[in-house]
Amino acid sequence: MNTKTKRKTDPALAQARREQVLCAAADCFKRKGYHGAGMAEISRTAGMSAGHIYNYFASKEAIIESIIERDMEELFSVFQEFEDQPGNLVTILLNGLDSGVERHIDVDQGALDLEMQSEAARNEKVARLLRKSDLQAREKMRSLLVGERSPIKAAKAAEIDSRIEVMFALMNGLLMRKILNPSIDKELLLIAVRPAMKTLITPFD
Amino acid sequence: MNTKTKRKTDPALAQARREQVLCAAADCFKRKGYHGAGMAEISRTAGMSAGHIYNYFASKEAIIESIIERDMEELFSVFQEFEDQPGNLVTILLNGLDSGVERHIDVDQGALDLEMQSEAARNEKVARLLRKSDLQAREKMRSLLVGERSPIKAAKAAEIDSRIEVMFALMNGLLMRKILNPSIDKELLLIAVRPAMKTLITPFD
Amino acid sequence: MNTKTKRKTDPALAQARREQVLCAAADCFKRKGYHGAGMAEISRTAGMSAGHIYNYFASKEAIIESIIERDMEELFSVFQEFEDQPGNLVTILLNGLDSGVERHIDVDQGALDLEMQSEAARNEKVARLLRKSDLQAREKMRSLLVGERSPIKAAKAAEIDSRIEVMFALMNGLLMRKILNPSIDKELLLIAVRPAMKTLITPFD
Amino acid sequence: MNTKTKRKTDPALAQARREQVLCAAADCFKRKGYHGAGMAEISRTAGMSAGHIYNYFASKEAIIESIIERDMEELFSVFQEFEDQPGNLVTILLNGLDSGVERHIDVDQGALDLEMQSEAARNEKVARLLRKSDLQAREKMRSLLVGERSPIKAAKAAEIDSRIEVMFALMNGLLMRKILNPSIDKELLLIAVRPAMKTLITPFD
DNA sequence: CATGAATGAGTTTTCATTCAT
DNA sequence: TATGAATGAAAACTCATTCAT
């Protein structure tokens, strides 16, 4: 009664169904891994028949690709926040560490990231998507580091690149630490993360 | 005449066979991943029948577990080297970075590590092994950092722990960087890895 | 006002819808084969929903059965033409060969015929329909061959039957030839088809 | 004890298994059609697990391809017989008609032929095999018709080709006749087949 | 009348594992 | 000890058919 609401396919329903599948799949992948989770389990989790999923996704691969794309957008927004904040860059980034570390040691989301990373080593399509996402993140970071507010804006391009790589490596590596040593927590990590990151965003020597 | 060398299982031969399988499997897993490599391929690579492998390993899973154990020993020996070297600890560790970075951005071995890491998120046995290995590595490193030669030997336990976690995170994170950005190389990374590591093994402030 | 033209099923519309489906299905079957064409494609081609087709046909099988029935009527009309033409029977039939050969080496339609034929070998309903159609065709042909204008009207029944069977065999066999040797064309075939058919409609010896 | 009989794969067994599968598959295809017969049924008929079949054939398609190849060799031997027989060609071919007609109205084998023919209309690989087989048959026949003993050895190439095509069409068409009119038998058909074939292997006019 | 979302049994194929020899 | 033939359960995916709207 509210709108036209009747004739033809309802795109809102379709979108809802896609989300349903995406969430269910992400959940299954976290628990069982991409290869370990079958369409049967995903469909059960999503509350719809396996066959029906194929009305929304062309293949199991298409599902993980969609998950990656969804995550990409989220990642992007994190970096946008840094850019939008006023004031001293070092302060901004170091302040961001708190939530950054927290986000990176979330094993639940991390398990999925790891899974995608593993898949990328063997699946070119997945690799391409992940790299695209990563490229955007690096560019965002570079624009911060060479910006007016940056204490290292004068550094050579290679040095900037290296700093970015190592910052990212450090943060991403935290996930593995949490998996291998579940007893660590954010506060403990920050003790050393902060000085290390500071080194990475201020001039060497 | 003395040994007869035939009757009943020769334990040396059995061990050799196990090694054969382990090497073949590691090779296959690197190329195709744990799920991508089949027992058929492994047996072909190992030069023995698929059925026969089951005389030495209870399952495919048991194989990867053995590989992990084998890798543990290797990792252990790397740390032993640091300990055995004379002189200034900072110098030793920074000098070790060169080969350390190189080892950590070997995507072939790394892809397997990643897969094992992923597997750990859901396979308790694998997790336990990996953690045991990691624990040993951390202890080795701690013994270095609190040793006589260490510039931070006076630091609090939590700080030491944090430093170790972050060093490991950084190094392990390099693998992901290499996967997401294959164009990076050791030299580029070392530009920022060195200062960051130096920060992590010298007193803060 | 008189018909109200809406309430309850309009039989004319229903018939039109059936035709729509039949044409679409025949089209799809020619292009993809009976098994290769899905209800989804048929419904798309027919411009109606898949579900709706089931208001007119009980099953996919029912559709092909209807197609067969429709084709039967068409075939029938071909024979009617011969009967209606005046003059010498031999001339009429030989003149008809030109278009007859052409029709029989149309692989698109033919592929469907072949599939129906195959289906007949295991689907009794299809077999019955095809045989009914064939029986009518044979009877039409027999009435021509024993008619006043026929040069073999005096032949024994078995001989007439044999001639009809062989004529039909020859014409139907052309389709297989075209499939196995796509390079042949109507003109080439007519070189030998004409004398062979002439033999079959004139007294032996 | 008889031979070495032990070490390594026994190729005789493998061959036997292949035959087993081929026969079972041919049987199933006759009864249910290529698409209608599932691997499950084939494996049941062959008395081995579905999975095991894949040790001998790469796919279901590979099975039908092997069947075609097997049939090709058989067909070839039929033509060889004609060539090897001494005496008048017309007599030889007309004498061969008896068994030829019989072979062509064997609906059991024929159902399979039809199935393969149908498949060829949609499956290029199958089509290629069938055409290769057919080409050999045509060439064999041509060599007979242009040979020393042939009454039409002087005919133009196109005419020879046409005669061959029509002879083959006629014989292959008999199968369809038998399917559409199961009451016909060899004797009845021969009444008209013989004169028609005679026309096709003697000079026109 | 008409839709298309939803189902579930079915498809071919793969593969870790077992076992007679 | 060693083989590889054999299995069977699972995988991803398809599709004719049903049904609430």
Contacts of A170 in chain B (CB under 8 A): 166, 169-170, 173, 196
pLDDT for the residue A8: 60
| Distance between the alpha carbon (CA) of B51 and the C1' atom of E12, Å | 26
Where is average pLDDT lowest: B171-180, C119-128, D34-43, D136-145? C119-128
Q: What is the mean pLDDT of residues A157-162?
A: 98
pLDDT for the residue A199: 97
pLDDT for the residue B183: 96
When comparing pLDDT for A76 and D138, which is higher?
D138
d(CA C6, CA C10): 7
Q: Which of residues 44-103 of D touch strand E (CB under 7 A)?
A: 50-52, 54, 58-61
What SS3 class is residue C179?
helix
pLDDT for the residue A16: 95
User: For D192, which of C119, C165, C190 is closest by C-beta distance?
Assistant: C165
Quote the percentage of chain A above a pLDDT of 90: 79
Q: Kindly write down the DSSP assignment for every residue of B17-85, as one continuous string.
A: HHHHHHHHHHHHHHHH-TTTS-HHHHHHHHTS-HHHHTTT-SSHHHHHHHHHHHHHHHHHHHHHHHHH-
pLDDT for the residue A185: 97
* Protein residue closest to E18, using CA and C1': B51
pLDDT in tens, A101-119: 999 999 989 989 999 998 9
**Protein-proximal nucleotides of chain F (any atom < 7 Å from a CB):** 1-20
d(CA D41, CA D63): 14
- Strand E lies under 7 A from the Cβ of residue D37: yes
CB B45 within 8 A of CB B24: yes
Contacts of D174 in chain C (CB under 8 A): 165, 169, 173
pLDDT in tens, C62-72: 999 999 988 88
Instruction: Say which amino acid occupies C62.
Output: A
pLDDT for the residue A6: 43
User: b vs e for D136-157, b when ≥16 Cβ sit within 10 Å of the residue's Cβ?
Assistant: ebbebbbebbeeeebebeebee
CB C105 within 8 A of CB C174: yes
Q: Which value, to the nearest 10 degrees, does the dihedral of the CA atoms of residues D67, D73, D79, D84 take?
A: -160
Residue C6 has pLDDT above 80, yes or no: no
pLDDT for the residue B43: 97
Contact D177 C200 (CB under 8 A): no
Closest CA to B85 of B146, B144, B152: B144
Contact C169 D176 (CB under 8 A): yes
Q: Do chains A and B touch (3 or more CB pairs under 8 A)?
A: yes
* Domains of chain D and any CATH numbers: 10-57 (1.10.10.60), 61-200 (1.10.357.10)
Residue D153 has pLDDT above 80, yes or no: yes
Question: Which H or E run includes A1?
Answer: none
d(CA A121, CA A108): 21
- Strand E lies under 7 A from the Cβ of residue B54: yes
Closest CA–CA distance from residue D124 to any residue of chain C (Å): 11
Q: Which of residues 150-179 of B touch strand E (CB under 7 A)?
A: none
- Strand E lies under 7 A from the Cβ of residue B123: no
When comparing pLDDT for A5 and D130, which is higher?
D130
| Structure-token pair, residue C72 | 């039967």
Quote the percentage of chain C above a pLDDT of 70: 96
pLDDT tier at A1, thresholds 50, 70, 90 = very low
d(CA B80, CA B85): 9
pLDDT in tens, A171-190: 999 999 999 999 999 999 99
Residue D167, burial from CB neighbour count under 10 angstroms (0-12, 13-18, 19+): buried
Q: What is the mean pLDDT of residues C168-183?
A: 96
| Distance between the alpha carbon (CA) of A1 and the C1' atom of E9, Å | 38
Choose, out of C28, C115, C142, C168, the residue to mutate when testing the contact with D (most D CBs < 10 Å). Answer: C115
pLDDT in tens, A73-101: 888 888 888 888 888 899 999 999 999 99
pLDDT tier at D196, thresholds 50, 70, 90 = very high
**Protein-proximal nucleotides of chain E (any atom < 7 Å from a CB):** 1-20
Residue A203 DSSP class: -
* pTM of the full structure: 0.89
When comparing pLDDT for D96 and B122, which is higher?
D96
| Structure-token pair, residue C126 | 């299809």
C-alpha dist (Å) from residue D43 to B78, C122, D14, D37, D51: 55, 20, 16, 10, 8
CB A201 within 8 A of CB A159: no
| Structure-token pair, residue B173 | 């994170």
| Distance between the alpha carbon (CA) of A91 and the C1' atom of E6, Å | 54
What SS3 class is residue A171?
helix
Q: What is the mean pLDDT of chain A?
A: 92
| Distance between the alpha carbon (CA) of A54 and the C1' atom of F13, Å | 8
* SS3 per-residue string spanning chain D: CCCCCCCCCCHHHHHHHHHHHHHHHHHHHHHHCCCCCCHHHHHHHHCCCHHHHCCCCCCHHHHHHHHHHHHHHHHHHHHHHHHHCCCCHHHHHHHHHHHHHHHHCCHHHHHHHHHHHHHHCCCHHHHHHHHHHHHHHHHHHHHHHCCCCCCCCCCCHHHHHHHHHHHHHHHHHHHHHHHHCCCCCHHHHHHHHHHHHHHHHCCCC
Contacts of residue B8, defined as CB under 8 A and 6 or more positions apart, other chains included, come to none
Contacts of D176 in chain C (CB under 8 A): 117, 168-169, 172-173
* Rama region for B55: left / alpha / beta (φ>0; ψ in -120 to 50; rest): alpha
pLDDT for the residue C8: 55
- Strand F lies under 7 A from the Cβ of residue A10: no
Closest CA–CA distance from residue A12 to any residue of chain B (Å): 34
pLDDT for the residue B81: 85
pLDDT for the residue C9: 63
Q: What is the mean pLDDT of chain C?
A: 90
How many CB pairs (< 8 A) connect C and D? 175
pLDDT for the residue C122: 78
Contacts of A118 in chain B (CB under 8 A): 33, 111, 114-115, 117-118
d(CA A159, CA C118): 73
pLDDT in tens, D72-91: 888 888 888 888 888 889 99
The per-type count for chain B, helices as H runs and strands as E runs, is: 9, 0
Spans of chain B below 70 pLDDT: 1-9
pLDDT for the residue B13: 84
Q: Considering only alpha carbons, which residue of chain B is nearest residue A193?
A: B166
d(CA A170, CA A196): 9
